[in-house]
Amino acid sequence: MRDSKNRKHRMADLTQEDWREQLESDPDAVILDVRTDEEMEEGYIPGAIQIDIYRGQGFLDEVEKLDKSKSYYVYCRSGNRSGQACSLMQSKGFERTYNLVGGMLEWDGEVTE
């Protein structure tokens, strides 16, 4: 499913299964957790980097430091904030952002505590 013309500046909402499968087969994958520090303490997906979307401009400043050539697999608690994060990242020139539908509430994969 590579129709890069239509997807170039769009985020993709992926189911838990698709997100995990695509993540595992993507050599450019970066896992991005956009939750708060308190939420991170409850557990996070192994290897995730955290940039709290509630930091507003601070979030955008940190995102700007990321490598735009990578693929970003973004999640939060339920999938709402990560969807917003993907949209913001798209507006900053990131071409491959993937939102985890259902977020950590539905995640049944590995978790680091």
* Residue 4, pLDDT score: 41
Q: 29-33 and 12-14 as β-strands: parallel, antiparallel, unpaired?
A: unpaired
User: Distance between CA atoms of 36 and 28, rounded to whole angstroms?
Assistant: 25
Which residue type, as a one-letter code, is found at position 39?
E
Superfamily the domain 8-106 falls into? Rhodanese-like domain (3.40.250.10)
* Residue 10, pLDDT score: 59
Residue 103 pairs in a beta bridge with none
User: Distance between CA atoms of 69 and 63, rounded to whole angstroms?
Assistant: 13
Known catalytic residues are: 76
- Average pLDDT by stretches of 10, the chain with 113 residues: 44 92 96 98 96 97 97 97 96 96 95 92
Sign of the Cα torsion 68, 83, 45, 42 reads positive
User: Distance between CA atoms of 23 and 72, rounded to whole angstroms?
Assistant: 9
* Residue 11, pLDDT score: 76
